[in-house]
Amino acid sequence: MTSPPSNYPAPQGYLPPGYGPPGGYAPPVPRPTGPGGVPLAEFGERLLAYLLDGLILAAILIPPAVAVMVALLVPYAHAVDSAANGQPHVAVIVGSFFWMFVLIFGLQFLGTYLYQVTYQLRAGQTVGKRVMRLKVVDAGSGASMAAAAARKRWIIHLLFGFVGPLAYLDGLWQLWDPQKQTLHDKVARTVVVRV
């Protein structure tokens, strides 16, 4: 057995010239914060709260809408049966469908207003936001939002819902906004924070 050559230098207690200690990790990127340093809600959290609120609203608003449809379609069906040739008068058709749409849309508007505005004014949260531990606050002060701000959020969200691409743009806007605000947040000057 041969021994290794003896021309290797003895280990030293420091690094050879030109080398330094390994670098550390960069500090984490800080989460965006709202007024008072409270962390802003992330996109996924807001999306889950929105979907949960949608399920709750559907459970509340679909049964009355179905009841209105049945209540107004029954007279229409009787008019068809009693018509001599099977075709009821045009006024019966138009009247039934007109009142059906008026009542259903009225119920929807009233229901969403009560849920999104009145309910949210109590504590700044809907049920979905409460489950996800989110709250809507004034963007400037961090205080609870005013009634006018809640109404602005609701009406802008409602109007954007009638124009499909704007509804998507409204919800997705928070992905690139530094304050994580949607368009209806910007109009109402609110932010959604974690509680």
pLDDT in tens, 19-32: 766 778 888 878 88
CA angle 159, 71, 51 (to 5 degrees): 35
Burial of 169-180, coded b for 16+ CB within 10 Å and e otherwise, reads ebbebbeebeeb
Tell me, yes or no, whether 62 lies in a domain: yes
In a domain, residue 58? The reply is yes
The verdict on residue 130 lying in a domain is: yes
Angle made by CA atoms 109, 113, 116, in degrees to the nearest 5: 130
* pLDDT the model gives residue 9: 64
Does residue 160 belong to any structural domain of this protein?
A: yes
Residue 27 in any domain: the answer is no
- Mean pLDDT across the chain: 86
- Look at the chain and report how many structural domains it folds into: 1
**Which tokens is 57 given?**
């609203």
In tens, the pLDDT along 150-181 reads: 999 999 999 998 888 899 999 999 999 999 99
Quick check: is 28 in a domain? Answer: no
Angle at 51 between CA 59 and CA 45, to 5 degrees: 145
High-pLDDT (> 90) share of the chain, %: 50
For residues 72-86, one letter each, b for 16 or more C-beta atoms within 10 angstroms of the residue's C-beta and e for the rest, the string is: beeebeebeeeeeee
pTM: 0.77
What is residue 36's predicted lDDT score, i.e. its pLDDT? 85
Q: Kindly report the backbone phi and psi dihedral angles of residue 166, in degrees, each rounded to the nearest multiple of 5, phi listed first.
A: -70, -35
Q: What is the pLDDT of residues 122-160, one digit of tens each?
A: 888 999 999 999 999 999 898 999 999 999 999 999 999
Is the pLDDT at 184 greater than 80, yes or no?
yes
Would you say residue 4 lies in a domain?
A: no
pLDDT attached to residue 18: 67
Report if residue 179 sits inside a domain. Answer: yes
Residue 8 has pLDDT above 70, yes or no: no
Dihedral sign for Cα 130, 132, 136, 141, please: positive
Domain with 147 in it: 37-194
Q: Is the pLDDT of residue 14 over 80?
A: no
